[in-house]
Amino acid sequence: MIESGMFLECLSLLSNHYSRQLQPEVIRIWKDYLDSQLSTEQFHQAVKQILLESRFFPTAKELVEMVKGDAETQAMHEWELCIKAAARNDREVMAQLSTPGQSALHLVGGLYKLGLATEEDLRWLKKEFVAVWKSTPAQVRNLSASANIDAKQIEPLAIAN
């Protein structure tokens, strides 16, 4: 959650720099969205980067992407976490995954399947993982991963013969 004072200070800085004022309702929408996406430090860093790199007033999404990267970048980062976890058989890493990361991992077969996959299989699983991650609605992506996640929930159910 972004501290209100810092939010208003940075928003004022953006408004003055780009000679553009936002309506109060738009400011509330931005605050809600950015609170779910960035910490105070990340927001401050995004504003500084935008001021240095952009000629145009940013959207709220562009501020988030300035710090976190686009959806593809975020999905690839989580894929790398999954691959490392599978190699080490480390289920604790799963608590670091976002909601779309957890869903994507489950849909591609879980850590067990990643650990057994060949290099070629991993290329296909990676594409599937990223596609599922990116197709997750933005509202769901904003949910934080649960720190108390049970790693067994991420593994697909074994079907007994």
Residue spans of the chain under pLDDT 50? 144-161
Per-residue model confidence (pLDDT) at position 149: 43
What pLDDT is stored for residue 140 in this prediction?
A: 60
Say what the pLDDT of residue 110 is. Answer: 92
Q: Are 82 and 101 in contact (CB under 8 A)?
A: yes
Q: How many residues does the chain have?
A: 161
pTM: 0.63
Q: What per-residue confidence (pLDDT) applies to 145? A: 41
Task: Return the pLDDT at 142.
Answer: 54
pLDDT of residue 146: 39
First to last CA, the chain: 49
User: Any idea where the domains of the chain sit in the sequence?
Assistant: 4-68, 71-153
Contacts with 30 (C-beta within 8 Å, 6 or more apart), sequence order: 11, 22, 60
